[in-house]
Amino acid sequence: MEKTINIIEKFKSIQGEGIHSGLPTFFIRLAGCNLRCSYCDTKYAYGKGESISISNLVEESKLQGVKFICITGGEPLSQVNTKILMEDLLKAGFKIDIETNGSMDITKFPNSNNVLYSLDIKCPSSLMHKSMHFDNLKALKPKDQVKFIMKSRLDYQFAKDVIAKYNIVGKTNIIFSPIGGVKADKLAKWVLEDDLQVRIGIQLHKIIWKSERKELILKSTKKK
């Protein structure tokens, strides 16, 4: 029986976040999420979505003309067939970014140099910070990244405490980003004052298209 997976949408765009920011990428947004963050901007991904065969999804990915696939959500690791999707995309020669919310065990999924795990550790303003699977931080490699989305000084201090407790500076990429993704002047000031070895991350797609949703640019990129 052919394996399927539930998706919300799929679209070709520019990666707007993290160390692969700016790279042309095919996004596959999987359905469902086990968390309910206070500032979530993808609530439309909470639903069941549309069931699609994994083989068809891989074939469609091959038509996009890109090397990078971003599997996002919702929470992409919550579906039982996500591992199969990842394995099939890897066999097809793609590089994969997995955007996970930090609550799922990433060690159960493919360990490959062509998979970048983007771990989003929730800070207190999300109201989901107690749902984190912190052992994931021990599994991250230099190619991976951990992101902290911040709204307040309390969030900033929480992130500082986490990176110190798990001693991850120099072991993986660490990104501090403001909620909303663009205005980062205050956050940059705190980082410079504390001499933290972290990156300041902004959401590039919101600067380019001034849009909350990356996929809206599809209308302007479709061939007529």
Q: What is the pLDDT of residues 89-126, one digit of tens each?
A: 999 999 999 999 999 999 999 999 999 999 999 999 99
pLDDT of residue 211: 54
pLDDT of residue 214: 47
Q: Which one is the CATH code of 4-215: 2.40.30.30, 1.10.40.30, 3.40.50.620, 3.20.20.70?
A: 3.20.20.70
pLDDT of residue 82: 98
pLDDT of residue 110: 96
SS3 88: helix
- Confidence band, pLDDT 50/70/90 cuts, at residue 1: confident
Q: How many helices (H) and strands (E) does the chain have?
A: 7, 9
Give residue-wise pLDDT tens across range 144-184.
999 999 999 999 999 999 999 999 999 999 999 999 766 89
pTM attached to this predicted model: 0.91
Give residue-wise pLDDT tens across range 116-152.
999 999 999 999 999 999 999 999 999 999 999 999 9
Which pair of tokens denotes residue 152?
């307040």
Domain locations in the chain?
A: 4-215
Give residue-wise pLDDT tens across range 200-223.
998 888 888 775 454 444 443 444
* CA atoms within 13 Å, Cβ hemisphere of 7: 18
Which pair of tokens denotes residue 205?
């797609």
Taking residues 181-193, report their average pLDDT.
Answer: 89
Contacts of 22 (CB under 8 A, 6+ apart): 14, 15, 204
